[in-house]
Every structure is written in structure tokens, then in C-alpha cells.
Structure 1
Amino acid sequence: MENTIDDLHVHVPLFDKIVESTRLANMDGTWPGMTTLLTKNGGAVYLILLGALLGVQLWQSYIGAVVTYKTLPKNTFGRLQAKLVPAYTIVASTLASALLGRWIVHRAHALDFGSLCEVVRGLEYAGVYSAIHTIHTDAFNTILLAAVGLAHFVNLAVLAPATTDFMFARHRLEADEASQEKKTDVSPEMHKLNRKFNILHSLSSFVDLSALAATLLHALFVGYIGTNNL
């Protein structure tokens, strides 16, 4: 005989909520089963994708990178990041694209940008500010997800490779200068490399932080509206 929720019921507030939500979906009070959970549970899939995106962003940029930077020698850390960052940006941009696609398909107003499109097409940039206020909330979240995907793609295709090139150039110059007489001043070549590297690294970090902020804002909105229509 199949066990029902009533057979397993314990009067714990959290469990009571689970029971009630299950009864709303299954009037007979039985567990929905794995097939139903996997095929008719789009909201859970969306949450898993969103959680994976947020988790990989937080871990790579603000936990893993910080710990390895403090632990490993500088050159070793640089070589490790040169391998990790491309993998990270590929995963993050893929997750953001999957979320964007599902959001557009399942949210009725995901592409309701109000009068903004008409203002841009007519080059009436004076009215952009007022047009922004006509954007539907769903469309605003479409912009957030698109920005996340674009930010990670820009890091993958442009900023990260350029930053890595200058990092390895610094490593080579440091090795060359170390083989010469010890110098007290930074060479002009090293100064130029440091300046370019710092600019690119700052841009890359800013883009990454912007993507994280957009993801967090979208997650807050999803938490507010729920996942019934996702």
C-alpha cells in the first residue's frame, strides 16, 4: 500500500507547509513522484539554474579567487586563474542564457519594453528617461538576464584574454629582470605593463561585479513573485 503524507505527518510548522503545498497540487495527498517533479516542475528547474549561476559567481570571484591568491605564489595563482576564468565565464554565460530563454518563453510581458523601443528607433533620446518608466517589470528582468550573459561573454571573449596576456608578459619580464642585477626601481617596461594590467583587471572585476549585482536583483524578484509561471 502506498504511503501518503498523512501516514508520515509530524506536527512541525515547516512540514505542515510542505504538506499543504503538496495537497494543493495533489488533492489526494499523495507524493507527486519523481516523474512529475522532473517533468512538471519548471519553477524548480529555474531555481536550480539561478542558484547555480549565483553560486558560481560568488565562489569564483569572491571566495575561491581570494583564498588561492592568499595561499599560492603569485605566478602559480596567475596560471591557475588563466585556466579557471575561461571555464567560469563559459558556465556563467551558459546559465544566464538558459535563464533568459526560459524567462522569455514563460513570462507574458518579458518583451514588453513600453515606449522605449519607439524612442530608440526614432532617435528621440530626450525621451529615454520617461520611456524607461514604461518598461514592464518582466521586461526589466529580461534586461537584467541579458546583461548578465553579455557581461560574462565580454569577460570571456575580450577582457579576460587581454588581462591574461599582460599577466604572462609581466611574469616573463620579472624573470628577465631577476636574472640581471638587482634593481631598486621599477623599470619603465614593467611600469607600463602594470598600468595596462591594472586597467584591464579593474574593468574585468567591475563587469563581473555588475553581473553579480544583476543576478542578485533578479533573484530577489523571483523570490517575490514565486516560481509558478517559470
Structure 2
Amino acid sequence: MTSILFSPAPYVSLQLTSSGKSTSPTRTETHISVVDKHHPKTKLTSPFPTHSYGTLLGSSLFQSFIGGVIAFRVLPRPQFATLQQATFPVFFGMQSVLPILLALTLPTERTAISTIPPSISGCLDPINRWTVLAPLATNWIVAVVNLLYLGPATTKVMRERKHQETRDGKKSYDQGPHSPEMERLNRKFGALHGASAGINLVGIAAIVYYGFYLGARMI
């Protein structure tokens, strides 16, 4: 009996075993097994990872592309601003908590050649560095930056613009010309809002990327 091990790719191993009988030298049996570490042998059994992921992705897509857009179109500017100021802390808070929940509920991953531990230890395992740790950490960082810095800073500028509107007797979104102070506040608001929206898109992309890993675990 002869056993030969081939390694043609970093995460793929082929094992070839040939056996023959002396009474029938031309009869051979060949078995080829392919082990791919990125396609685990165990499937997801707990509902928590899928429920948490669905909540995270669904709320992000709805707030970014549906709810916020509709509110901007149908509400007057003051009411829209009030709604967003009340919504964003809850929204970014959810985005901060759910990636942690996804990491904590990561199940054990068993392959034909190894066992990857669950929870945080599994996220830190080298094989999950780019498929699990990177997207979850990216989404968490985006949410925390929005929650603790960009969100409050944007709200502060909105309040300053409101006071400046009273001084100028003109809304910040009215056709110009505006006072130098209002122009400064408008530029600052645009920069903060653009940064918040931009990194939010990065967070959504990270969530979608993580979904491919989660989907592979369900096959």
C-alpha cells in the first residue's frame, strides 16, 4: 500500500492511496480526497449568527437607502433633521453591538484536518483573519466612529446652523448669498456628513463580504 500526499495550493491537499492484490496485479483502487479549509464540514446549527447578521445587514440597508431617503423627500427639513438626530444614535448603537454579538456566537468550525474554536478565539484564528475578523472589525470600527465622533459632531454643527439661521434671518439651505459664518458651518456640515456616509458604505461592504463566509457555512 502506497500513500502519497500532494499540496498544489495553500489550502488544498490531495491524498492518493493505491492498493493492489498479488493475485490481480492489474486491479487497483484509487481514492482521492480533497480538503478545502475554506469550505468547512460543519454547518451552522444555531439561529443567533444568521439572525444577528440579518438584523445588521437589513437595518443598514434600510436606513441608508430606503428609510433615510424617503424621510428626506417627504419631510420638511426641520422635521427631517429632528428625526435623524433621534434615529442615528440608535442605529449606530445597533451597528456597534451586532458585530460583537456575531463574534461571540461564532460556532465551532470542524474540517477534515482541524477544528477551529468558537466565539472570539475562532475570529482570531489565522484561517478566519480575512473572512471573519476583518469584516466584523471593520463594521464595528465604522459604527463606533459614527456613534462617538461623526454623529455628535454633525449634530453639533446642525444646532450651530440653527442659531446662525436666527441671526441671519435665512435658512442654511436657502439660496445664497450667506453670511461667512453660515458658509463655514455649511462646509463643515458637508464634510462631516460626507465622511459619515462614506465610511457607512465601507461598513455595509464589510457586512456583505462577511455574508459570503456565513453563506458558505450554511451549504
Change over 3 Å in CA distance of 1:183–1:49 after alignment to 2: closer
Q: Does 1:171 align with 2:162?
A: yes
Change over 3 Å in CA distance of 1:101–1:214 after alignment to 2: same
Q: Does 1:213 align with 2:213?
A: no
Q: Does 1:187 align with 2:179?
A: yes
Unmatched 5+ stretches in structure 1: 1-40, 114-135
Q: Does 1:155 align with 2:146?
A: yes
Alpha-carbon distance in structure 1 between the residues aligned to 2:64 and 2:164: 27
The percentage of counterpart residues that share the same residue type is 31
Q: Does 1:202 align with 2:205?
A: no
Partner residue, 1:106: 108
Task: Give the aligned residue type for 1:200.
Answer: L
Unmatched 5+ stretches in structure 2: 1-43, 110-115, 117-121
Q: Secondary structure at the match of 1:186?
A: coil
Aligned-pair RMSD on alpha carbons? 2.1
Deviation, structure 1 residue 112: 3.1
Q: TM-score, normalised by structure 2?
A: 0.68
Alpha-carbon distance in structure 2 between the residues aligned to 1:220 and 1:76: 38
Asked if structure 2 preserves the Cα contact closer than 8 Å seen for 1:75 and 1:171, the reply is no
Bigger radius of gyration: 2
Task: Give the aligned residue type for 1:71.
Answer: V
Task: Give the aligned residue type for 1:98.
Answer: L
Alpha-carbon distance in structure 2 between the residues aligned to 1:170 and 1:186: 12
Partner residue, 1:143: 134
Task: Give the aligned residue type for 2:108.
Answer: H
Change over 3 Å in CA distance of 1:225–1:174 after alignment to 2: same
Higher strand share: 2
Q: Secondary structure at the match of 2:123?
A: coil
Alpha-carbon distance in structure 2 between the residues aligned to 1:95 and 1:42: 19
Change over 3 Å in CA distance of 1:86–1:184 after alignment to 2: closer
Matches within 5 A, 1:75-94: 75-94=78-97
Larger RCO of the pair (alpha carbons < 8 Å, separation 6+): 1
Change over 3 Å in CA distance of 1:111–1:80 after alignment to 2: same
Task: Give the aligned residue type for 2:195.
Answer: L
Q: Does 1:71 align with 2:70?
A: no
Change over 3 Å in CA distance of 1:184–1:54 after alignment to 2: closer
Alpha-carbon distance in structure 1 between the residues aligned to 2:140 and 2:175: 45
Q: Secondary structure at the match of 2:124?
A: coil
Asked if structure 1 preserves the Cα contact closer than 8 Å seen for 2:48 and 2:105, the reply is no
Q: TM-score, normalised by structure 1?
A: 0.65
Aligned length, in residue pairs: 161
